[in-house]
Amino acid sequence: MLWTKLFTEFPDCNNTFNCNTILETNDGGFVIGGDVDYYVWDTLNEEWDYSQRLFLIKTDSLGNDTLVNNILPYQTQPITKFELHCYPNPAVNEFHVDITDKTGDDVLEIYYTNGTIVHEQTVIPGESRIDICELKPVMYLVRLRNSGLFGKIVIE
């Protein structure tokens, strides 16, 4: 092995990058491509928007890289179904969500209005308590990663 590199943080995005393709290039490096789920609050229409964005990383034989992550989405869709019940709402210091056996173990993600993930927590069936003491008092998007369910929470 000549080199290893862990890509953990990319400029302007704290979301999870899904790597779909890794190809070796003629110069001994690699090209890595994939997508990222991007959630952001649309202040004009006052709704949560979802888009899937693409990224491309090119490395040389020594692992030096160039990241292209400013590929804009071809389509943005508002999130209209909020099936994850968050209570009490508004909340102070903590809130709860009901995780059913049908949903199973999952990862709860909380997104700030600019699309940044500000909290992640593993949740299991039954009532789950979410500690939000460290979060600013605004509205957030709540998502169950594996189930694809969304909710909203206002923190006071």
* Confidence band for 116, pLDDT divided at 50, 70 and 90: confident
For the chain, give the mean pLDDT.
Answer: 83
Residue 77 belongs to some domain of the structure: no
Q: Average pLDDT of 121-130?
A: 89
Query: Is the per-residue pLDDT at 70 higher than 70?
Result: no
Instruction: Kindly state whether residues 112 and 61 are assigned to the same domain.
Output: no
Question: What is the pLDDT, as a whole number, of residue 75?
Answer: 63
Question: What is the pLDDT, as a whole number, of residue 72?
Answer: 63
Instruction: Kindly state whether residues 56 and 106 are assigned to the same domain.
Output: no
Counted domains in the chain: 2
Domain of residue 103, residue span: 86-154
Residue 80 belongs to some domain of the structure: no
Instruction: Kindly state whether residues 5 and 40 are assigned to the same domain.
Output: yes
Last residue of a domain, one of 20, 40, 72: 72
Least confident of 58-67, 81-90, 129-138: 58-67
> For residue 137, which of 84, 78, 79, 95 has the smallest C-alpha distance?
95
Instruction: Kindly state whether residues 90 and 150 are assigned to the same domain.
Output: yes
Instruction: Kindly state whether residues 98 and 130 are assigned to the same domain.
Output: yes
Instruction: Kindly state whether residues 129 and 68 are assigned to the same domain.
Output: no
Instruction: Kindly state whether residues 66 and 110 are assigned to the same domain.
Output: no
